[in-house]
Amino acid sequence: MKKRKKDVISIKSPAEAAAMRAAGKATAEVLAVVCAAVREGISTAELDRIAGEELARRGMRSACRGYPGHLCPFPANICVSINEEVVHGIPSPKRFLATGDLVSMDLVVVESGGFMGDATRTVVVGKAKDGSVEYLLHGTECALAEGIAKARAGNFVGDISAAIEACANRFHLGIVRELTGHGIGQEMHEAPTIPNHGKPASGPLLQAGMTLAIEPMLLATAGGERILLDADGWTVRTADGSWAAHCEHTVLVTDGAPEILTEIKS
């Protein structure tokens, strides 16, 4: 299959949607295993090792490992970002989790045909240090749910963005504006770009068959939204040290309710 142009929004066929479901199912399962391993004292490299083993068991691979960067390709299966780190934290055998840490784990899985599932889960290690951490996580999870609810045929990308922004404002949380959600398929980043802020009824029209990675990245400090890139060329953190939460699902737009591809089905 030819690569799709980055500015063209792809509509997945039934067979392609089935492949996306397989990738999404694996993404959800692997992330669930990794999240279950989160505990005080575990290294982020060990979490990455667990993800790699789980992927190998399923005959799949991570699209994160080897993804090009301006300094070096990403060296791990998952991104593990802690506390004030927003995204793209590199796992390390020297980085250990502590009780109260807020840990975001971002994984993109590729199935045999090249289709991808992309999801992020953020969890607290043990007991949160105070109520503000759980409040941040709850607000980000709500923003994701409200954004997904707008991913219906006949709506617009701006409806997703506006729903996320409205939820963030309601919780008095900051929004990372430089980073966005995106389309996904056989490329990790396809059109359309999905900002976490915007106006209703703006942007591209949503059509059945689109697959979208919706991913609010919210901050504990509203207004302190500036971010910095670490010297490793990957890790993005808040400039003021405020903590961040990142929650993400891959969603299939249908003529009815959106189908979340990266959640464990009951």
Closest CA to 86 of 189, 234, 233, 250: 234
What residues does each domain of the chain span? 14-260
Three-class DSSP category at 229:
strand
pLDDT for 1 = 27
As averages over each run of 10 residues, the pLDDT of the chain (266 residues) reads 59 98 98 98 98 97 96 97 98 98 98 97 95 97 98 98 98 96 98 98 98 97 86 96 97 97 89
User: What's the rounded Cα separation, in Å, for the pair 107 and 121?
Assistant: 9
Three-class DSSP category at 200:
coil
In CATH, the number for domain 14-260 is 3.90.230.10
The pTM score is 0.95
